[in-house]
Structure 1
Amino acid sequence: MQSEQILLLGVNHKTTPVEIREKMALSGGYDQYLAALNKVEHVQEHYLLSTCNRVELLVVADTGADVRDLLIRFLFGDEVPLEKADEYLYILEGREAVHHLFTVAGSLDSMVVGESQILGQLKEAYRHAAEQHSTGALLNKMLHKSFTVAKRVRTETGIGSSAVSISYAAVQLAKKIFGDLRQKKVLLIGAGEMAELAAEHLVGNGVKTVSVANRTLARAMRLAERFEGGAISMEELPEHLEETDIIISSTGAEGLIIHKKDVQAVMRKRRNRPLFLIDIAVPRDLDPELNDLDNVYLYDIDDLSSVVEINREGRGREAIKAERIVDEETLKFEHYIETLEVKPTIVELRKRIREIAEGEMTKSRHRLGELTGEQEDALDAMLHAITAKILHHPMEYLKSSRCTGHKKIKERVNTVCEIFGLPEGRAKKQDDETDE
Structure 2
Amino acid sequence: MHILVVGLNHKTTPVEIREKFQFQSDMDQALTTLRQSKSILESVIISTCNRTELYVVADQLHTGRYYTKMFLSEWFEVPKEEFSHHLLIREDEHAIEHLLRVSCGLDSMILGETQILGQVREAFLKAQELETTGTILNYSFRQAITLAKRAQAETEINDNPVSVSYAAVELGKQIFGDFKGKQVLVMGAGKMSELTAKHLTSNGVDQITVMNRTKEKADALASRFAGASRPFEQLTESLLETDVLISSTGADQYVLNASDVKQIMKKRKGRPLFLVDIAVPRDIDPGLGELDDVYLYDIDDLQGIVQSNLEVRKEAAEQIELMIEEELVIFGEWLDTLGVVPVMTALRAKAKTIQEVTMESLERKLDHLSEREKKVIRKHMKSIINQMLRDPITALKEVPNENDPDALLEYFSKVFKLEEHMDEEEPRITSNIKINRQERQYNIARRKAAIGSKKKAVVRSC
- TM-score, normalised to structure 1, is 0.77
Alignment of 1:183-332 (within 5 A): 184-189=182-187, 194=192, 197-199=195-197, 201-202=199-200, 207=205, 208-213=207-212, 217-218=213-214, 221-222=216-217, 224-228=219-223, 229-233=228-232, 235-250=233-248, 252-253=251-252, 257-259=256-258, 262-267=260-265, 269-270=267-268, 272-281=270-279, 284-288=282-286, 290-291=288-289, 296-332=294-330
**2:30 match: secondary structure:** helix
Give 2:56's aligned amino acid: V
With over 3 angstroms needed to count, the CA separation of the structure-2 counterparts of 1:422 and 1:221, relative to structure 1, is closer
Aligned pair count reads 415
For 1:411 and 1:181, the matched residues in 2 are separated by 68
- In the alignment, is the contact (CA less than 8 A) between 1:245 and 1:275 conserved in 2? yes
With over 3 angstroms needed to count, the CA separation of the structure-2 counterparts of 1:240 and 1:358, relative to structure 1, is closer
Deviations 1:167-207 (A, max 9, x none): 22112223333455476544344677655654454456564
Question: Which range is displaced more, 24-33 or 91-100?
Answer: 91-100
Alignment of 1:73-88 (within 5 A): 73-77=70-74, 79-82=77-80, 85-88=83-86
**1:391 match: secondary structure:** helix
Residue 85 of structure 1 deviates from its aligned partner by 4.2
For 1:204 and 1:118, the matched residues in 2 are separated by 18
**1:107 match: secondary structure:** coil
With over 3 angstroms needed to count, the CA separation of the structure-2 counterparts of 1:253 and 1:28, relative to structure 1, is closer
- In the alignment, is the contact (CA less than 8 A) between 1:104 and 1:110 conserved in 2? yes
Residue 149 of structure 1 deviates from its aligned partner by 1.6
Residue 66 of structure 1: aligned partner: 63
Percentage of matched positions with identical amino acids? 40
Residue 15 of structure 1: aligned partner: 12
Alignment of 1:323-342 (within 5 A): 323-342=321-340
Match among 88, 91, 99 for residue 89 of structure 2: 91
The runs of 5 or more residues in structure 2 that have no matched partner are 421-426, 431-462
Match among 169, 172, 175 for residue 170 of structure 2: 172
Question: Which range is displaced more, 98-107 or 266-275?
Answer: 266-275
For 2:401 and 2:5, the matched residues in 1 are separated by 22
With over 3 angstroms needed to count, the CA separation of the structure-2 counterparts of 1:273 and 1:137, relative to structure 1, is farther
Residue 294 of structure 1 deviates from its aligned partner by 5.9
For 2:414 and 2:88, the matched residues in 1 are separated by 40
Deviations 1:339-388 (A, max 9, x none): 332111112333556678999x89xx9xx999966776666555444433
**1:9 match: secondary structure:** strand
Give 2:256's aligned amino acid: I
Deviations 1:300-346 (A, max 9, x none): 12211111111111110011112222333343344334333211111
Give 1:211's aligned amino acid: V
Match among 413, 428, 432 for residue 409 of structure 2: 413
**2:109 match: secondary structure:** coil
- In the alignment, is the contact (CA less than 8 A) between 1:24 and 1:76 conserved in 2? no
**1:87 match: secondary structure:** helix
- In the alignment, is the contact (CA less than 8 A) between 2:188 and 2:210 conserved in 1? no
For 1:256 and 1:8, the matched residues in 2 are separated by 49
**1:115 match: secondary structure:** coil
The runs of 5 or more residues in structure 1 that have no matched partner are 432-436
Deviations 1:14-39 (A, max 9, x none): 11121221111013342232343354
Residue 44 of structure 2: aligned partner: 47
Deviations 1:60-116 (A, max 9, x none): 455789343222222232644335544222333444333322221111111001112
Give 2:53's aligned amino acid: E
For 2:282 and 2:255, the matched residues in 1 are separated by 7
Task: State the Cα RMSD in Å.
Answer: 4.2
Residue 103 of structure 1: aligned partner: 101
Give 2:29's aligned amino acid: Q
For 1:182 and 1:341, the matched residues in 2 are separated by 59
Deviations 1:251-302 (A, max 9, x none): 555568331x644543465465543211234565434454455653221122
With over 3 angstroms needed to count, the CA separation of the structure-2 counterparts of 1:12 and 1:255, relative to structure 1, is closer
Give 2:147's aligned amino acid: V
